[in-house]
Amino acid sequence: MKNYLLFYLIVFAICIQGCKSKKDDIKAPVEPNYPKLIFKFKFDSNQVRLGNLGQPSNVGSGNAAISPVFQKMSAHYIELALTDYTALGGGAVLYKAKETSAGGSNAIDFDSSKVVGENEEFFSIALKDMTPGTYKWLRVSLAYQNYDIKYKYNYASVDYTAEGRLASFIGFKTYVRSYQIQNMSETINANKLQGYWGFESFSTIYNGQAPPGATTVPNPIAGSSPIPAGSCVVTGQFANNLTITGKETQDIVVIVSLSTNNSFEWTENNADGWYQPDIGETVVDMGIRGLIPIIQ
Torsions phi, psi of 14, nearest 5? -65, -40
> pLDDT for 221-259, tens place per residue?
999 999 998 889 999 999 999 999 999 999 999 999 999
CA–CA dist 47, 44 (Å, integer)? 6
What number is the average pLDDT over the span 23-30? 51
First to last CA, the chain: 78
CA–CA dist 65, 264 (Å, integer)? 5
Tell me if the pTM is above 0.75. Answer: yes
The boundaries of the domain holding residue 271 are 30-295
* Residue ranges in the chain assigned as alpha helix (H): 2-25
Pairing of strands 121-126, 36-44: antiparallel
The verdict on residue 215 lying in a domain is: yes
| Number of domains the chain is built from | 1
> pLDDT for 58-104, tens place per residue?
999 999 999 999 999 999 999 999 999 999 999 999 999 999 999 99
The verdict on residue 45 lying in a domain is: yes
CA–CA dist 11, 6 (Å, integer)? 9
Asked if residues 175 and 193 have their Cβ atoms less than 8 Å apart, the reply is no
The verdict on residue 9 lying in a domain is: no
The verdict on residue 22 lying in a domain is: no
CA–CA dist 227, 225 (Å, integer)? 7
Indicate whether 215 pLDDT > 80: yes
CA atoms within 13 Å, Cβ hemisphere of 175? 16
The verdict on residue 20 lying in a domain is: no
CA–CA dist 181, 140 (Å, integer)? 23
Looking only at Cα atoms, what is the longest distance across the chain?
108
Torsions phi, psi of 11, nearest 5? -60, -40
The verdict on residue 63 lying in a domain is: yes
The verdict on residue 16 lying in a domain is: no
The pLDDT score that the predictor gives to residue 155 is 87
The verdict on residue 3 lying in a domain is: no
The pLDDT score that the predictor gives to residue 11 is 47
